[in-house]
Amino acid sequence: MSDLFVLHILSPERLNSVLFALIMVSLIGMMTGPSWGNANPFLWGILDKICGRLVEKTYNKDRSVSSLQFRGGLLLTLYLIITGIIAAIALIIERKFAFAGFMDPILLALTLSGGATWSSLIKLHHALRGTHNSKGTLGKGSYYQVAVSTRTNLNSTDNHGIIRVGIGLVATTFDKGLVAPLFWYLLGGLPGAYLYCGIAAARWSLSKDGFAKGIGTLALKLETFFGILPQIISAFILSLAALATPYAGMTRTIRGYFSKTGHAPYAEGGLALTAFAYALGISLGGPVEDISGSVLKRAWVGASTSSAKVERKHLRQAIYMGIMGFVWVFLFIVLALGAWRIFP
């Protein structure tokens, strides 16, 4: 029974869908950039368009914690109901319009992030370097896309802080926008990927990295339950990505995981953010202001001797490391498919 379950999880059909979805989300994401300025998975953006305004109106920090927790529970339920409806529609579409098996990876790609993140951060890097477009301006998307994707008011910090936020986006989208939805897709098919994606989107919208005074508590706890194992997998892959990234350190990254200090709490990026801080030898995190004006007193992440004055070169390294992590995921799927050919 267990052997059949494992074979179903790692079936060639699902692995092929993952490969095609990875190709689509990387190439199309780079060509089109993020939808609505949001470099997170497309499904996050849909749910934010549906529920985002309601979340803004519901959050009132003058309310008691218990009141906000109740409201947060209702909003999380709304996210899950809408996600369930979208997942059901996706399954109907997949069965009615299979397109020779291509519809499944197309629908899976809606739960993933890849090229859109790289596109946003490359624009940010150009903006910080002062590179202008053909009209001689930096363009709205230079900072806007990172601000929307991280829900951060970038006007509240300096260039060092902006770069730290950008690197945090690489870590978050790799963990929660790539590894986690693929993990749950391999376990539960499209419903598994969509369910996790809905929970992660609710957490992104409600929790304020754990500083939301109760309204995001339930969403954060639920996402932690579903995301803790994928986070460990993300950390392993990012260690390999550090090995392939110039001037990054794999052994330094691994030592960072076991360090007694300098870890990012799960709500603030967890092992993925910790990996980037130690791999690049910098400090990440730190207080920021979110788009609604709330101050998020994030922890400092990284070795005690590292500097928080991160530079453009560190952002460039982080983008490269994120892409290498993506490549490693792709290679692992290819190897799994190769194993099917050798051991059918």
Flag whether the pTM goes above 0.85: yes
1 CB-near residues (< 8 Å, 6+ apart): none
- The whole-number average pLDDT for the span 189-218 is 93
Check residue 4 and give its pLDDT. Answer: 47
- What is the per-residue pLDDT across 307-335, written as a single tens digit (0 to 9) for each? 999 999 999 999 999 999 999 999 999 99
Helix, strand, coil percent content, the chain, rounded in steps of 5: 70, 5, 25
In the predicted structure, residue 2 carries a pLDDT above the cut 50: no
Residue 46 CA to residue 61 CA, distance in Å, equals 26
Residue 322 CA to residue 114 CA, distance in Å, equals 9
Phi-psi region of 281 (alpha: psi -120 to 50; beta: other; left: phi over 0): left
Domain that holds residue 56: 2-342
pLDDT classification of 33: cutoffs 50, 70, 90: confident
- What is the per-residue pLDDT across 132-146, written as a single tens digit (0 to 9) for each? 444 444 445 578 999
- The whole-number average pLDDT for the span 76-102 is 91
Phi, psi of 305 (to 5 degrees): -90, -5
Check residue 234 and give its pLDDT. Answer: 97
Tally the domains of the chain: 1
Check residue 135 and give its pLDDT. Answer: 46
Q: Single out the residue of 179, 217, 180 nearest to residue 195, CA to CA.
A: 180
- What is the per-residue pLDDT across 121-133, written as a single tens digit (0 to 9) for each? 999 998 888 754 4
Residue 278 CA to residue 40 CA, distance in Å, equals 24
- What is the per-residue pLDDT across 239-266, written as a single tens digit (0 to 9) for each? 999 999 998 989 999 999 999 889 999 9
Q: Which of 45-59, 68-82, 133-147 has the lowest mean pLDDT?
A: 133-147
Check residue 9 and give its pLDDT. Answer: 67
